Amino acid sequence: MTVFSHPEFDHHQRIVFGADASSGLRAIIAIHDTQRGPALGGLRIYPYASDDEALTDVLRLSRGMTYKSALANLPLGGGKAVIIADPRHDKPPELLRAMGRLVNSLNGDYITAEDSGSSEADMRVIAETTEHVGGLGHDGISGDPSPFTAKGVFCAMHSAVRHGLGRDDFDGLRVAIQGVGHVGAQLARQLHEAGARLVMTDVDRDALGQLAASLEADITAPEAIAEADVDVFAPCAMGAALSASVVERLKARVVCGAANNQLASPNIAELLKARGILYTPDYVANAGGVIEIAWQRRHDYRRDAVMSHIAGIETTLDEIFERARREDSDPSSVADALARERFRD
């Protein structure tokens, strides 16, 4: 395993490897940048095939959190944590408390929160051994960020279909959703209410079938979702959904989804542009959850202010898409440049 020469290493400020023999914890925390504030980023629990795979994921995700917070105008930096484990079987309370002690050893430079494989209940166990936890909710309000993430993607899609398809509504819009977990399912419901026609897929066939029936949506196999005859492709599962082969098969003219790190490699952005497909930078579109968690840390939390902040994702994307058009560039490169301008300043 290499770190400093790793292709995803981007001058990360701190990378911590943690293990606890008694609980079986094997974890990595990556702090990418703290110039705007402490590094906030969720805890992903996943049965990675190797330590290298886990390191690659945490490096990419932590960098994305820096960019996400910068473009969401939050006083936060970017970080991420991963635990190498199967979240369905291998996250006993002792392991989560050990994770809390690892987070606590960073003295507030990293704040953890719910992510894929972890839940609000898990965050409450972690909070037994550290105060540096977000997304716990307050005043009887759930700390689950997924509804806010879905709302942000919905707002992002408004901008994307306006710039990519020249339309201002979702009535009759055909959308393919890859992954209908917490965020994907809520995005599907919002799109259905707005009049969109949905094609969905997920590895959980039972949950997929129930949701599709309630939304009058079509179902397709996971390997066929990229070829669905739709206007918009919404990756809402794990990362690297957009490879060169997937881009070649896409029929959608717009990509806008909730998944992190959708591009399998940076050059995919140029492939999308060459095919005339408008790509919505994922860390801009899916910032709703981190906006909500950031507001939960404030003393003046107001739900209307949170929703107004999330609605600003659409305005940010308008700026990115227009700048990409003027510069004849791809939106991913423009978003990266704009984010760097903000967090480095």
Residue 64: which of 85, 47, 81, 78 has the closest Cα? 78
Residue ranges of the annotated binding site are 179-184
C-alpha 292/C-alpha 310 separation (Å) is 8
Residue 38: which of 4, 83, 69 has the closest Cα? 69
- Two tokens, residue 317: 């994307």
CB-CB contact of 36 with 49 (8 Å): no
The amino acid occupying position 273 is K
CB-CB contact of 16 with 83 (8 Å): no
C-alpha 37/C-alpha 78 separation (Å) is 9
Residue 253's SS3 state is coil
Residue ranges of the annotated binding site for NAD(+) are 179-184
Residue 143: which of 133, 132, 158, 128 has the closest Cα? 133
Q: Which of 68, 80, 91, 273 is catalytic?
A: 80
> Quick check: is 273 catalytic?
no
Residue 106's SS3 state is coil
CB-CB contact of 62 with 31 (8 Å): yes
Residue 255 phi, psi (nearest 5): -120, 125
Length in residues, the chain: 345
Residues 6+ apart with CB under 8 A from 133: 100, 103, 111, 112, 113, 123, 126, 127
Catalytic residue positions, numbered: 80
